[in-house]
Amino acid sequence: MKNLSKFRSIFLLATMAAFIIIGGCKSKEKVAKAEDQGETLIEVYCSGPEFQSNNEFFRANQVGESLDQATAKKKAQSNARAELAASIETTVKSVVDNYVNSRELNNVEEVEERFESLTREVANQKLTGINTICEKTTKTSDGKYKTYIAIELAGDELMTALNERLSKDAKLKIDYDYEQFKKTFEEEMDKLEKEKGY
């Protein structure tokens, strides 16, 4: 009886081991097939969920390539700034549209134009104060430099600067409601968090 029980245990273990080995071989076959099709996994530095915009920060990441290392970095910075500026502009435009539409303002078109003009001005000024949160430089096999970069700007920093500028404007002073504008701004920042897709 003991020998039969021992034999069954050994047989069961051997069967399970065989299934594991066969399963492992099949997954290796799948990897080999992907490689046979010319696919190669590429790691993109300074990218991924931690480098995406969220409800606290506007973020952008880009890459620049050149035979000159300094030029590669400048290209990456320029591309990242352009992406960050576009993200800020889109968000601020939504804030202004939603804010103006939620208020009963006199001459809506003029007020909206004034808001957009001032917010664009502030956003451009704030782009000089961005933080680099990741930077990596590589050299390719053909001798080119590649710089990967990720930058960010805090949403509350932008909101503070917007408030200072909007509250001092003579034309908007009468109609400007900081709490309502801030609430609208925070709602748009929350949308960035939800749109990440990670």
Q: What is the pTM of this model?
A: 0.71
Question: Per the structure, how many domains does the chain have?
Answer: 1
How far apart are alpha carbons 35 and 143 in whole angstroms?
25
pLDDT of residue 108: 64
Please say whether the beta carbons of 72 and 65 come within 8 A.
yes
* pLDDT, mean of residues 92-109: 74
Q: What is the pLDDT of residue 58?
A: 92
Residue 10 pLDDT: 58
Which residues, 6 or more positions from 198, have their beta carbon under 8 angstroms from its beta carbon? 48, 49, 52
Cα 8 to Cα 3: distance, rounded to the nearest angstrom: 9
Summarize the confidence of residues 129-157 as an average pLDDT. Answer: 93
Rg (CA), the chain: 27
Closest CA to 193 of 49, 94, 92: 49
44 assigned to some structural domain: no
Taking each helix axis from N to C end, the angle separating 155-168 and 178-195, rounded to the nearest 10 degrees, works out to 150
Which residue range(s) make up the domain with 61? 49-195
- Is there a domain that residue 10 lies in? no
Q: Is residue 185 part of a domain?
A: yes
183 is a domain residue: yes
Model pLDDT, residue 198: 46
Confidence (pLDDT) at 71: 96
Residue 29 inside a domain? The answer is no
Q: Looking at the domain assignment, is residue 180 inside a domain?
A: yes
pLDDT tens readout for residues 144-187 = 999 999 999 998 888 888 888 888 877 776 667 888 888 888 88
Q: Is residue 17 part of a domain?
A: no
Taken in order 127, 73, 55, 195, the sign of the CA dihedral is positive
Residue 107 domain flag: yes
What proportion of the chain, given as a percentage, has pLDDT over 90? 31
Average pLDDT over residues 116-141: 85
Query: Which residues, in sequence order, are CB contacts of 87 under 8 Å at separation 6+?
Result: 53, 58, 60, 192
| Selection from 89, 91, 83 nearest residue 46 by Cα | 83
Question: What is the DSSP track for 53-84?
Answer: --SSEEEEEEEEEESSHHHHHHHHHHHHHHHH
Query: What integer best gives the mean pLDDT of the chain?
Result: 79
What DSSP element (H or E) covers 147? strand 145-154
